[in-house]
Structure 1
């Protein structure tokens, strides 16, 4: 058994994680004769609830500010119904109680209690009803999964505040015993842990995760870490009146530099504000690029798909071998996520693949140093077309490995943003929301990663030249030049200049 511990930190990360875990729950067969597709014990911990009944719950630490949890609490139907135990009030006078009105259940949560959302019934809950990431959650969690970070005061801005993130972790660890309590308990439950998968919002939890990983590495130097930093929406440009955007961009750069030292492999994800419109609106679906409920569903589909080989029953891969395949020709622990969702059989991979790390769409022809592809729900002819596409690309076969798996399941919690052109998987003759779809997802170490670092390097050089100082950004003006040099080093290690474009010329112009 090679278990994975999962970490989610931040609102967007938990939106993605909620979709991810709802999908994992859909793999449970519940006594059917059919063999399970995935090994549940890799991602789920088996334990007992308060009534000594067996349970399967995610092996997860979910961090977010308290106000973002919605109705989710440490207590639930499996582990106690009250959020806090009734306490005896030690007060001689008549107390006056002020209680905050509880968060009302979402429509989907109410439908889950009243309808059978697994066998034919559907919920009308959609975008307007989703206020928190817990509004479409389908699972129970052990109490230590829920890690509520104190809310940021109204007069402070948490985005891009690298210094505050470190301070928050220190206080939270001291108050809750996080590292020696919940974190270590999850690790000790594992027989042979293969590593940790982390997804976090860089703008609000960048400094927090940096401190978390620094503390983790004190005791677990070689533990494989697969990290998905969700970059901010800050454009890489400097304007005198946009200090907030500048601070977020500097924070992103600090996150990338930190992860280069602490993590085994990192897959940066660009903000959905940078995505091409066709990623969300195409022949098969009409998703809202402005709502995290929709964009997180798309990202989760790709993250869940491309990491599927780590969770397959009798899987031969683990995080260490996964990382090794992608990094054996490059010294830089950064790769890119790309894919096509949904892949309904007629989208040509030459044009339909989108990079979520570089925010670039096809034609997709980077120079690859290693790549891991996963297809879901491809027909025989679809797999043949995929193989022909690989042959046309001219990539050395030794650099690519592929997994072809069953279609990606779509639980009822998944947004119903598919159009009528989407192939239906419901009963014959009945128009219903699809129950699964085809997906192509890929992680690759390629020359496109170099462009990401060259843009941050140029941005930091401009900040240093203009002596732009941003409060609590975690770096002085005098240090920006050094960090720009670090970004250029990452650029070179990622194959910058190998594609024949103007990488070296751009750097030369910046240095003149």
Structure 2
């Protein structure tokens, strides 16, 4: 089977929190049972290789960038490709007594990572005895996969909150990309991955949008568009952790606006992500999920929700059954009329009542079907172009057989013979004037440590909703996620423009002007937000 490969790029600390959960989820959901093979083609995002010991490796086709302080114990060259022999050979070339050796501080591993290394079984340790929430300082503290040597890219001369080399300005990131050392090395790593692919379909990029990584991401996307001309889908992310009001809020707003302006220019499709209802001037209340209890102040929690949404909605172009459905199809469906921005939705878990069929669940369902994960944007059920993916509902739970159907037979949906057909009927009846592309697979999302324990105690082991507390660990859940393009995004652009227009002159923000941002560029950004607001307004007579 031909694989249409995709290269994933993660830029920034919070983006790597999301990416780590995403790769963990994928590895947890690998199927090694030949009798029930995976419905997902993992070769789209993973690459097969061979290390120096001629052992077969299977690693994410991934490039990630973060600061030195965030990568902790990880080695830049990874651990799969042993270089100890070559290091010993190098050491023999000089006199050790005449060499001064400088050693950095020892970086401690989290208890979870230590338990992984100490485990003699090829299993993920349970977190019952490990309080992950209290031991997660960085994304490396719960990382399951092992990386290819070219995956990790470390920025060594900056700190997130450093006074001497700050990393919170969009133009700083753009200038860093323009340095020959960074751009040549990173571009070469991209080229090496691309040349390995047989039939590449494009790139997916997760990037922090409130700091320097936004500038790196914008320049990277420009490079990808100019050099490769493939489809690019990007997800600018905002951490939902609240902070006290300060002048840095306006800097983050300006970074976000500049990020979106350039992302919209260079990508095929993009969707901002945040677990807060609002993201400016400060983070608002956290998004509510009926059957979840999570702490949006913890990157470890909020990033798990965003990663679950990404893992689910990207199944559309990762399925084995329809290998001809690719990323460019998704982009072409949703970026009509110059609308490249979309809103991301998540339904976790999809509310299947215990011992109930899908036909009854949909018939009794009240309220919105999904929760928005895009800031300052609530997704309505009407007038959308949308791509939705549902996983975890098997055909056996569609409806009862005729001999036991009873009241189900009186419902029009009883004539549906597949989950896909019934869901399309439901969406056609509830999402008026919407064009929907629905993908579905029967396998649920399998939940294992280090996925956070955020499900309420009325969720069964298999993800069903019941009316009383059961207190069991959730092992799998049905999930629905989607991308939506509609006039609801107009409010997002309007609110961002309203906040950014409070800046009367960019000259007051010396860090931006000193690093190359001009007044005309700032005004162009303001006009861009206003144009997008008007572009997403639908005027129906």
Are 1:234 and 1:248, in contact at CA under 8 Å, matched by a contact in 2? Answer: no
CA 1:459–1:253: 2 relative to 1, 3 Å: same
1:263-274 matched pairs, under 5 angstroms: 263-270=267-274, 272=276, 274=278
Instruction: Quote the offset at 1:18 in angstroms.
Output: 0.9
CA 1:469–1:478: 2 relative to 1, 3 Å: farther
State the partner residue of 1:325. 333
Which of 417, 434, 440 is 2:454 aligned to? 417
State how far apart, in whole Å, the 2-side matches of 1:322 and 1:414 are. 28
> Is 1:498 aligned to residue 534 of structure 2?
no
Find the residue that maps to 2:69 and give its secondary structure: helix
Are 1:57 and 1:142, in contact at CA under 8 Å, matched by a contact in 2? Answer: yes
State the partner residue of 1:356. 373
- What TM-score does the superposition give when structure 2 sets the normalisation length? 0.81
CA 1:308–1:100: 2 relative to 1, 3 Å: same
CA 1:167–1:340: 2 relative to 1, 3 Å: same
State how far apart, in whole Å, the 1-side matches of 2:437 and 2:40 are. 19
CA 1:258–1:121: 2 relative to 1, 3 Å: closer
For structure 1, which segment, 198-207 or 152-161, has the greater mean C-alpha deviation from structure 2 after superposition? 152-161
Instruction: Quote the offset at 1:211 in angstroms.
Output: 1.6
1:246-257 matched pairs, under 5 angstroms: 246-257=250-261
Are 2:381 and 2:430, in contact at CA under 8 Å, matched by a contact in 1? Answer: no
- What TM-score does the superposition give when structure 1 sets the normalisation length? 0.85
Find the residue that maps to 2:199 and give its secondary structure: coil
CA 1:479–1:4: 2 relative to 1, 3 Å: closer
1:374-389 matched pairs, under 5 angstroms: 374-378=389-393, 379-380=397-398, 386-387=423-424, 389=426
Which of 499, 510, 524 is 1:471 aligned to? 510
Structure 1 residue ranges without an equivalent (≥5): 501-512
Which of 413, 430, 439 is 1:393 aligned to? 430
State how far apart, in whole Å, the 2-side matches of 1:369 and 1:415 are. 32
State the partner residue of 1:48. 50
Instruction: Quote the offset at 1:201 in angstroms.
Output: 0.5
Find the residue that maps to 2:427 and give its secondary structure: helix
Find the residue that maps to 1:307 and give its secondary structure: helix
CA 1:392–1:158: 2 relative to 1, 3 Å: farther
Alignment coverage as a number of residue pairs: 484
State the partner residue of 1:210. 218
> Is 1:368 aligned to residue 404 of structure 2?
no
State the partner residue of 1:71. 73
Are 1:283 and 1:421, in contact at CA under 8 Å, matched by a contact in 2? Answer: no
Are 2:142 and 2:450, in contact at CA under 8 Å, matched by a contact in 1? Answer: yes
CA 1:366–1:276: 2 relative to 1, 3 Å: farther
State how far apart, in whole Å, the 2-side matches of 1:492 and 1:273 are. 22
State how far apart, in whole Å, the 2-side matches of 1:256 and 1:132 are. 26
CA 1:457–1:120: 2 relative to 1, 3 Å: closer
State how far apart, in whole Å, the 1-side matches of 2:381 and 2:521 are. 32
Instruction: Quote the offset at 1:92 in angstroms.
Output: 9.0
Are 1:232 and 1:252, in contact at CA under 8 Å, matched by a contact in 2? Answer: no
Are 1:4 and 1:42, in contact at CA under 8 Å, matched by a contact in 2? Answer: yes
Are 1:162 and 1:472, in contact at CA under 8 Å, matched by a contact in 2? Answer: no
Instruction: Quote the offset at 1:492 in angstroms.
Output: 1.9
Which of 334, 338, 346 is 1:339 aligned to? 346
State how far apart, in whole Å, the 2-side matches of 1:357 and 1:422 are. 26
1:272-291 matched pairs, under 5 angstroms: 272=276, 274=278, 279=287, 284-291=291-298
State how far apart, in whole Å, the 2-side matches of 1:105 and 1:58 are. 22
Instruction: Quote the offset at 1:483 in angstroms.
Output: 2.2
> Is 1:196 aligned to residue 238 of structure 2?
no
